[in-house]
Chains A and B, each alone.
Chain A
Amino acid sequence: MSKIMTGAEMVVQALTDQGVTHLFGYPGGAVLPIYDALFHQTKVKHVLVRHEQGAAHAAEGYARSTGKVGAVLVTSGPGATNAITGLTDALMDSIPLVCITGQVPTHLIGSDAFQECDTVGLTRHCTKHNYLVRSIEDLPRILHEAFYIARSGRPGPVVIDVPKDVQFASGTYAPPKNIQHKTYQPQVKGDLAKIKQAVAMMAKAKKPILYTGGGVINAGPAASALLRELVQQTNFPITSTLMGLGAYPGSGPNWLGMLGMHGSYEANNAMHDCDLMICVGARFDDRITGRLDAFSPGSKKIHIDIDPSSINKTVAVDLAIIGDCGHVLEDIVRLWRTEAHQPDKKAMAAWWAQINKWRARNSFGYKKSDTTIKPQLAVERLYALTKDRDTYITTEVGQHQMWAAQHYKFEEPNRWMTSGGLGTMGYGLPAAIGTQLAHPDSLVIDIAGEASILMNIQELSTAKQFLAPVKIFILNNEYMGMVRQWQELLHGGRYSSSYSEALPDFVKLAEAYGMKGIRCSDPAQLDAAIQEMIDHPGAVIFDCLVDKAENCLPMIPSGKAHNDMILPDTGEDIGSVIDDKGKMLV
């Protein structure tokens, strides 16, 4: 079924053949032939963003909420450099993207031509792989290979840099076949002998814990279902990273809440005291481990991951299983069942009794108020009023993000889109738009901070143009709250440049875009106001004026161990807890 066509037509045909429904992009001189090819068809819908960073984040939201590859199209030079933050974000969080960048014609490469930049050089460090297409003969293979590399193994972003002359050239296009790459062959099935060993370790454990991450989400909904079955059969407690929320239901009986720097007291203490840690698709990131030499000192550790470089990177483990979380979980669940294992009932009862003591500290608790809206209350009420709907949540970065992770309970995978590894302010609004376009009838909410939302506020135009009824729920504390909190912690409360000066009137801003604006500062009116937001058929900016001084607790201060947390009821003076060594850390 080969066909003669131009390079630009090949790009659009390959997107179609790869099942791309939405292409997030922004035109420019070096991609005009591709825009012309888009003009002549209807299968791929082009979504015009207002900044190329927005295109990448929108594609991330689309990808994370659907499990499909997100597609991006930008021009050379500034188009490519603007996309770099989004590509880096996708690399850190293992989100599959294919980003097509225009490039100056081949004969001008290296001459500092207008809007030339070394795109493959610049993106080499922030992509899983990248290509400069040197001839039309290579283009069809590279297009299909890029999708394969982006979605298989540990997913990630792939850039294809297409010079303008290649877009105009004619060649033979062939649709995708089963790709067998000569060097890239991710291992998906786990080693059965090792899996047997893991099951034997699990059967003997007295204080086990499951620590899961974004890898379970990336392995698809079936992996989450298997994880639930495993928890149900073993009665093991389970915690997860920020990226893994939703793999196990937030309302489930064995759920300990998120772990790590702003994780729950019970999750962190259980990690510290466990005798067996089963890490599934997580990577022992510094936000998770805290102080490494005091990280879970007495436990045996099993690590299941598709990326061999994640093994023993920061934490040495006793048993490593390389493979896709879904495949490995399937084997574990089957072996647990056929070998008729039973958890050690007595030991488990004692372990759960201990965990319940930690739980009783109620570490996500906060002081209630009748006069100001506490940010935690705002998330709690948002959760209560949206949990029975078909809801997707995105966030920006800061305190509001952590409060969302603590207080919004996710029942399903792919419902939670947040920038974890890179921590990119400005992620939430474009990601919400991408998510909304993939799920037009669902309720999509960006839980935002007043500072972060301004980083990609231009995307309101995109939401308006493409009729994306996203709800932007701003926890407006008039501070870069997370920065303010660290200044309180480390710098004597000297709030250097962290006050959100000169904010726009967010209600009027919404109205300027023909959207609905809602403001609320009274806890008594909060429910009605949230309901009004939900009921409005179009996009809404909700300016929720919250307590300006609230700190996000609990917290493992930098340089401390899991069992050395600041708790909300002891966290009044946080200025004295971090020593000089801890102050060096981020």
Chain B
Amino acid sequence: MNAQAALSPYSSSAGKTERRETHVLSVLVDNEPGVLARVVGLFSGRGYNIESLTVAEVAHLQGLSRITVVTSGAPETIEQISHQLERIVPIHTVTDLSLADAFVQRELAMIKVRGKGESRTEALRLAEAFRARVIDATTESFIFELTGAPKKIDDFVELMRPIGLVEVSRTGIAAITRGPLEM
């Protein structure tokens, strides 16, 4: 939302907090055509943020997919996002993992680094420390595969930048609650 709208007497509700939080929403959907467009369209249509979004089928027989969205906003806005998502007909459940007791999140990244000589060994040394795997190598480049929380990937990418970072491809996060119960 632009600054003007934020100043509007119609949207600056009394009692709304200034606080911005980042939440991970786990959305279980019927795997039917258009369902992703409905979810993404909701975010763009109502001016909500998407920081990361992943989607894949998770139960083939039942035809279920899981969409994991990372979004940010005031807590009231995030509550509103969950309710708006619940209105979409082919959505089964919306779980705000950030409100759950504990959850784990992982992201996979492929990081291409170019370099020779000293910087090459430096890259390999750091990769080992981060437990990144080499999945492609030439005499002047590596591609590392790294899985972890987004922060860990950010850190690794920053370390690679001065060494010879070429480019990065990331999946966005998948997340799940800890413990024996379903989300």
Contact = CB atoms under 8 A, between A and B. Distances in A.
Nearest to A561: B9
Interface in B1-27: 4, 7-16
A314 B76 CA distance: 9
Contact of B34 (A124, A125, A290, A292): A124
A25 to B, nearest CB: 24
Interface stretch (A193-201, A219-227, A340-348, A577-585): A577-585
Contact of A292 (B13, B41, B79): B13
A125 B34 CA distance: 12
Contacts of A290: 9
A585 B9 contact: yes
Given A124-B38, A309-B80, A316-B16, A286 B90 contact: no
A584 B4 contact: yes
A555 to B, nearest CB: 15
Nearest to A289: B10
Contacts of A584: 4, 8
Interface in A362-391: none
Nearest to B81: A309
Interface in B47-91: 76, 79-80, 83-84, 86-87, 89-91
B37 interface: yes
Contacts of B87: 128, 307, 309
Nearest to B86: A308
A293 B89 contact: no
Interface in A251-294: 286, 289-294
Contact of B41 (A124, A149, A291, A309): A124
B45 interface: yes
| A interface residue count range (under 10 / 10 to 19 / 20 to 34 / 35 or more) | 35 or more
B89 A312 contact: no
Contacts of A45: none
Contact of B45 (A125, A129, A286, A315): A125
Contacts of A308: 83, 86
B2 to A, nearest CB: 11
Contacts of B120: none
Contact of B9 (A293, A309, A315): A293
A311 B14 CA distance: 15
A292 B76 contact: no
A582 B4 CA distance: 12
B79 A120 contact: no
B15 A309 contact: no
B80 A183 contact: no
Contacts of B41: 124-125
A294 B9 CA distance: 9
B65 to A, nearest CB: 13
A398 interface: no
Contact of A121 (B12, B37, B84, B91): B37
B30 interface: yes
Given A134-B33, A183-B91, A585-B9, 6 more contacts: A183-B89, A183-B90, A292-B14, A295-B14, A559-B9, A581-B7
28 contacts: A120-B34, A124-B37, A124-B41, A128-B87, A128-B89, A129-B89, A132-B34, A182-B92, A183-B89, A289-B10, A290-B9, A292-B10, A292-B13, A293-B9, A293-B13, A307-B87, A308-B83, A309-B83, A309-B84, A309-B86, A311-B83, A312-B80, A314-B13, A316-B14, A316-B15, A559-B9, A581-B7, A584-B8
Interface of B: 4, 7-16, 30, 33-34, 37-38, 41, 45, 76, 79-80, 83-84, 86-87, 89-92
Interface of A: 120-121, 124-125, 128-129, 132, 134, 149, 181-184, 286, 289-295, 297, 307-309, 311-316, 559, 581-582, 584-585
Q: Sort A-B residue pairs by CB-CB distance and give the 3 closest, nearest first.
A: A309-B83, A291-B9, A129-B89
